[in-house]
Amino acid sequence: MRHRAALVAGSLALALAGVVTAPAAQGTTPGEWQAFEGSWSVSGRRSSVPAEGGTTAAVVEVSGAVVLTTAGGLGRGFRGEAVGFDDGQGVSLGRAVWTDEHGDRLFSRLKGEPLETGRRIVGTITGGTGRYAGLEGEYSFTWKYLLSAEDGVIQGRAVRLQGRARRNTATP
């Protein structure tokens, strides 16, 4: 169960990473979707407690470099940070923030669902600051577990991180 909790929590953090690239953040017409792909390798910590039914609930805090690309080949790098919670009963929730080289931030809400080979994470872009103000969107990825040590240290990466974002038409 500890392994599962680590996968879930790490997944949440990773999902947040691949949200928006420079073209989506700047210069696109309001309402126009911009597709993106990305990668995020993270490391962090997991803390857990026993839960009823022999399961384990866990909280994960991870960070790492996020690299996004668009169909046009333009890319952007971020420092991605995320926190996640797995209740040990199949519910995984989290929040993430990606910060670019100018200090502008992009925020996401995460939700995980069980998969046979990992945990699928679905993210909802909820806005941002600076160049990312007024953005909305969605993305998904599968968490790939790389290391989970007994001391709570975890490492992982996002697999098939893909999504889309647009400037909210209601935002000036």
Q: Which pLDDT score, from 0 to 100, does residue 145 have?
A: 75
Q: Which pLDDT score, from 0 to 100, does residue 71 have?
A: 72
What does pTM read for this prediction? 0.79
Mean pLDDT per 10-residue segment, the chain (172 residues): 43 38 50 92 93 91 93 80 91 94 96 77 95 94 80 90 88 52
The total of other beta-carbon atoms located within 10 Å of residue 29's CB is 8
State the Rg of the chain over Cα. Answer: 16
Q: What's the token pair of residue 56?
A: 């384990």
* Largest interatomic CA distance in the chain: 52
CB of 97 closer than 8 Å to CB of 79: no
Distance CA 138, CA 111 (A): 11
